[in-house]
Amino acid sequence: MTDPQPDRGATRRPPGGGGATDPQPDRGATRRPPGGGGATDPQPDRGATRRTGADGRARCSWPGDLPDYVAYHDDEWGRPVHDDRRLFEKLCLEGFQSGLSWLTILRKRENFRAAFADFDPAVVAEYGEAEVERLLQDAGIIRHRGKIEATINNAGRALELIDERGSLDTYLWSWQPTDREPDLRDPAASTPALTATSTSLSKDLKRRGWRFVGPTTVYAFMQAMGLVDDHVDGCDWRRS
């Protein structure tokens, strides 16, 4: 099957878009972690500002006052992750997010975990057409055939990487940049959307047969999994 171009940039929406069977309930939620985006999800500040919450803590401005977003910012985003299953999950969910708000995916994450065997690549790689049809009927996830089939394909590619490098963790963390990198399209941007490293990692994954892993998607993954620290200056959660 042809792999649509999932990561055409933060201002374009990828082909497919979710389809008529897959409503997008959170189009009004315009804040998301910096790095991704899409025509339906503008980035008003690209994570460049901070705000003080009702708890008196200074944090990045993008979570706003949404409790689930604040919890994601405080407890997950930017914290180094080395568990293979969670790394694989995040790459898959970033692919599903393409063209949507991350909040939509976050609120469906437990449904995704149930649908995809908690993102065990050894299980997901064995999914066939029956499982694809089951997933297309699952209203708890994003019912996009291309993204579902890409996840199954990527599970097989993940197993190949594990065989080659010992773990996804070893492979993915070998791409951790030693210095902060500028955005390739806008070097003056305070928070990048894609970098030289995310572009190179995207190319290598695609060479290995992965799908829905464009450079913007990959950079959002790097931010979330802690390969880079893009909490803004003054955020209480910034590591450096």
Query: From residue 230, how far is each of 118, 149, 225 by CA, in Å?
Result: 27, 31, 11
Tokens of 229: 């620290």
Nearest to 14 by CA among 207, 213, 237: 213
List, by residue number, the catalytic residues.
72, 94, 102
- Is residue 223 within 8 A of residue 35, CB to CB? The reply is yes
Alpha carbon distance 173, 195 (integer Å): 16
How many other CB atoms are found less than 10 A from the CB of residue 10? 19
Alpha-carbon dihedral angle through residues 33, 7, 105, 19, given to the nearest 10 degrees: 140
Nearest to 98 by CA among 185, 3, 204, 13: 13
Nearest to 19 by CA among 99, 73, 126: 99
